[in-house]
A and B are shown apart, each in its own frame.
Chain A
């Protein structure tokens, strides 16, 4: 279930962090990071849950107790040109449960590289209509085992995502944004060669279901474009997959679904290059085959002219 937090999180990062207000804000605005501009960031995230959905049955499990997932993620973003930016990230994740006798997992997760393109900026009424795309590729780099849920730090499969971002930014600082992504996921190699997924499967590979990911936000820029506040919504729905079986552990083939609401704040210490800070909070409101997690994160960004 963790890859969802990752997806949602990376998504958020890709679009929201690393933007200097001196260059007119966000990737879904008319100006992205200019050519030669580089931004590095580190984000720390803490998520936990003590109840989860087994299929659509919402339950507790004293042998998990409270499940905790912590992440430290370095990121780097670069302006290739005014219209094309590249962003890469590689999180380190650690999981543990307060109950039971099983050990958690800790490893580098997936390297993600994404290309963001600014396609359209059109003045409409008291604002601008925007259209951007983001394409990402991610692949596991660590040796973590995906078939060790719920402790696994990721789905252990390559992912290709295509995302369309539409937005409307008003001159008074209000922003409306909707991003929709299709996530194609490959297979994850596991360490057994027989498993059950609606029947017997004789293979050391599991198919990780493809998914649709939706992100919506209503944002507001204030303090001379140095503080950005957003109310966010995120959902991720696998298109296929099986349910966690009764009192059994999850596996990467599960049809995972999650929707969460959140809040995001970003502050630029100087209205130019240099340091910025991020804080956010997400609460899962509904799900299937995932934990009902509350997640909070803090981040530090630093932007400079690289060449």
Chain B
């Protein structure tokens, strides 16, 4: 029996020891609320992206802090803050002083949840996700990279424009928050010197909830719950009174109307072309170049992914023709053959480092896609630089619109040249990554990443080198994965840089970034 006891003891110690070694698997970025590195009193004058004429959205002046109604609000907030449950306290901590971060994370989570490609029906046909019947099956949407890039662009732009308006009225009315009015009310977050009317948090909450509900209709209830919790948390944090929130919600609503209007006519509804249209695009390429890309899945998908995404309205590039890439090398040409041999070499002698790079950048089905990956980088840099919500939204807005523009430019080229994938041109070629359902040239990862890197390099110049190294790595990762030729990646990177610079040029016009 003694032996048994010893054996058990050793085992328990081992299990406990190993359990202690387990790494955390966090669901969100855990960071302390911080004091903003700038207040940006002139933020209300920055140029909006979505809202053409900001003066068309007017906000009424707040009640005086001496009015009985305001005093009652203050009293209610004081009561609320003094009787917080632990769940309420946790919510205050979760939302932080920069809730742009959290809504961005929620968007990425939904992207990953819905980034599932519809499978075939029993008879070998495929059913497309249908916004008129979002439950499906298949569920709507399929949050593939173009879809996700657009979702993030609208989300970030609506947040940014809403916050520009919020800043404008904050510094017009200068009504300070509860902790300034009543020193016995403590703000849960570091004091930032920002007027609290209208609540910037409420603007963020409202536009985020509405845009994400538009993009992920099945998540309406989940988003409503996040929204309510976020609004409550601002009262619980002692940073706002209800009339601050109402004003923020109002501004948010006005911006959402404009965002929805643009989204309804930006061309996305037509992007997933019908089979006849798709076939005519493929045949036009075949007549022009003597090749066409084809889906290699079984059963074969009748239409590639969003053949007409290249016609979707861009944010910063006047016409897609301005950023078109040159023709790819002809199949069978010396350059083509050299790049094919390179792929064969990578596949035969894959180093662990190459494999790691391919997988780290895969961002494939079930993931938050490459745009999501760049949003994570932006998030980390934003928190590190202690940006206020307006600045944070600015980074996300310019980056995500640039990334979407890059997607549009890339898709325009993809379906114009209709270039086959390596598994189609190389006999018996096997890859470590799944081959996507759209043509090869140019590489989406490369364009998305180069555009994202250019914008982040502008906002965080001390990290510019790192962002560009990452963009290069993202481009190369597709070669290691066996799903792109080098010329796809090289031209994609150039194209992405070009697109990114349009966004940077527009951001520079505010004259406020270092």
A interface with B by C-beta (< 8 Å): 61-63, 99-104, 115, 117, 119, 133, 135, 137, 143, 145, 147-148, 158, 160, 162, 184, 186-187, 190-197, 199-207, 245-249
Contact = CB atoms under 8 A, between A and B. Distances in A.
A187 B21 CA distance: 9
B11 A147 contact: no
Interface string B101-117: 00001001100110011
Given A103-B431, A148-B432, A245-B366, A199 B109 contact: yes
Interface in B1-44: 3-4, 7, 11, 14-15, 18, 21-29
Interface string B427-449: 00111111100000000000000
Contacts, number: 129
Given A63-B298, A191-B355, A200-B105, A135 B26 contact: no
Interface in B334-371: 347, 352, 355-356, 359-360, 362-363, 365-368
B72 interface: no
Q: Is the interface of A mostly helix, strand, loop or mixed?
A: loop
18 contacts: A62-B298, A103-B431, A117-B3, A135-B7, A160-B14, A160-B15, A191-B360, A192-B362, A194-B373, A195-B366, A199-B109, A200-B27, A200-B105, A201-B25, A202-B376, A205-B22, A245-B366, A247-B119
B15 A184 contact: yes
Contacts of B429: 101
B109 A200 contact: yes
Given A63-B297, A194-B368, A203 B26 contact: yes
B367 A194 contact: yes
B432 A203 contact: no
B54 interface: no
B267 interface: no
B130 to A, nearest CB: 15
Contact of A102 (B27, B28, B434): B434
Interface residues of B, number: 56
A160 B18 contact: yes
Contact of B112 (A99, A200, A207): A200
B347 A103 contact: yes
Interface of B: 3-4, 7, 11, 14-15, 18, 21-29, 105, 108-109, 112-113, 116-120, 137-139, 296-299, 347, 352, 355-356, 359-360, 362-363, 365-368, 372-373, 376, 423, 429-435
B435 A202 contact: no
A203 B366 contact: no
Contacts of A135: 7, 11
Contacts of A162: 11
B372 A194 contact: yes
Contact of B26 (A63, A115, A202, A249): A202
Given A202-B28, A248-B365, 17 more contacts: A62-B298, A101-B434, A102-B430, A103-B347, A119-B4, A135-B7, A148-B359, A160-B14, A160-B18, A186-B21, A187-B22, A195-B366, A196-B109, A202-B27, A207-B25, A247-B117, A249-B366
A117 B116 contact: no
Nearest to A205: B23
Contact of A248 (B26, B27, B366, B368): B366
Contact of B24 (A101, A203, A246): A203
A62 B367 contact: no
Nearest to B352: A143
B47 to A, nearest CB: 33
A39 B138 CA distance: 55
B479 to A, nearest CB: 15
A248 B116 CA distance: 7
B423 A101 contact: yes
Contacts of A148: 359, 432
A241 B14 CA distance: 23
A196 B113 CA distance: 7
Nearest to B434: A102
Contact of A196 (B119, B347, B366): B366
A266 B153 CA distance: 65
A133 B8 CA distance: 11
A134 B267 CA distance: 64
A193 to B, nearest CB: 7
Among A102, A148, A160, residue most surrounded by chain B Cβ atoms (within 10 Å) = A102
A192 B360 contact: yes
A164 to B, nearest CB: 11
